[in-house]
Amino acid sequence: MLTVAADAQELKLKVKAQSFQRNHQHGFAMFEALIALLICAMGVLGVVGLQASMTRAQTSATFRAEASFLAQSLIGEMWSDRANLAQYDSTTCGAACTAWQDRLAARLPSGTSTVTVSAAGVVTIVIRWTQPGESTNQFSTATSIT
């Protein structure tokens, strides 16, 4: 009978030790799940930030392309009206130049331009615009119209 009692006592001690170890591990899976959730949330925030950055870059590229298109359209008008080339200079802006400046102001945020026409027919066009919350951007081109 003594061995049965000793075996029972030993079995109780083993069960108690296992129970202590099991209780000691409670909540660890929940902690792992919270850490995994935190890592996923940081990844989602990173993707959202990247998307916002790409949207800003695309908007900036759109305005640069628009500035280039506007400059090339003015150069095309100047080529077709070479006899009145001096009227396209910013200081003596004629009707065609004024219409172009109105298009520029309508298509670019805070859009301004400087057009310089030299006596030799060299035309320099500088277009500036400012996107909300950003610094001033500039596009410039020069060509010879003879």
Give 17-61 pLDDT, tens digit per residue. 665 555 556 678 888 999 999 999 999 999 999 999 998 889 899
Pairing of strands 136-144, 112-117: unpaired
Half-sphere exposure for 120 (CA within 13 Å, toward CB)? 5
pLDDT of res. 95: 87
pLDDT, the chain, mean: 88
Task: Please tell me what DSSP assigns to residue 134.
Answer: S
**Any bridge partners for residue 143, and if so which?**
123
Alpha helices in 81-113 (DSSP H): 95-107
